[in-house]
Amino acid sequence: MIGIRRNPLLVGAVTAFSLVVLSLSAVQISRFVRFGDLPYLARQLQRKEPVARQAIAASVSQAEALRAAGVCQSEFVKGGMSILLADLDYQDQDKDYESWATALERTDKFARFALGCLPTDGNLWLRLAMVQQTIVEEPEEVAKLVTFSQLYTPADENVIVGRYLLYNRVTARTLALLSEPLASDLRIICSDNNHSLRRRLPAPGPLVTQQLAAMTPDCDPVGTQKIGKTDR
């Protein structure tokens, strides 16, 4: 301590470092105060725990504020994406088209912001593909987004499930453009050690059934559930 006190440069460096640490800590605390509900509620959604509709609606404004502030911290960005997708699921296109369209546009903007923050996150590429397919299915655009998803996250089981659900929703033209990522995902789905994954999946639609028969004729049966909304 005596040596430190006798060295003004060292004292200055230690003081500056301490101030930086305190400043960063204050920023992080401020972010958790403003956006802390996003990752918390997202974890509840991922665990399939019940989350009040009002809580999701209240957190939508937090996700919007996150994007407006340009905060790219991973846990908040991913949490915000989950919240906006959950909010979109609650919208009823037939009963309130304007609210549904607003939620869809909001989710699209956030997904693009999220990818600007986390460009190698395959799950975010998938989410943007799903939103784009909902807005209007442009085969080349959807295929490009799904291809990036498969490139960056080829083996994560939850992301494979999401891509499989999307394969069941797209048109024949889009699916034809997705031949490579589809083949890669089907090989994983049909591998001998993935019995639990096959049980998680809904039964394939007619187009995916054709691809399964052509690519992996020895694949064990895949799922028996009806296709539902996308897992978050």
Residue 118 backbone phi and psi in degrees, to 5: -130, 70
pLDDT at 88: 94
Report which secondary-structure segment, H or E, holds 156: none
Q: What is the spatial distance between Cα 41 and Cα 127, in angstroms, rounded to a whole number?
A: 18
Closest CA to 80 of 120, 21, 36, 15: 36
DSSP tally for the chain: helices H, then strands E? 13, 0
pLDDT of residue 75: 93
Degrees, nearest 5: CA angle 230-150-102: 40
Mean of the pLDDT values across residues 164-185?
A: 96
The reported pLDDT for the residue numbered 28 is 52
Give the type of residue at 165. L
Output the pLDDT for position 29: 60
What's the average model confidence in pLDDT over 35-62?
Answer: 91
Domain ranges, ordered by start, for the chain: 8-118, 120-232
Backbone angles phi, psi at 112, to 5 degrees: -70, -40
Q: What is the pLDDT of residue 108?
A: 97
Task: Quote the pLDDT of residue 65.
Answer: 95
- Confidence label for 223 from pLDDT (cuts 50, 70 and 90): confident
Amino acid identity for residue 88 in this structure: L
Radius of gyration for the alpha carbons in the chain, expressed in angstroms and rounded: 22
% of the chain exceeding 90 in pLDDT? 69
Per-residue pLDDT of 2-30, as tens digits, reads: 444 555 655 455 554 454 444 445 555 65
Decide if pLDDT at 51 tops 80. Answer: yes
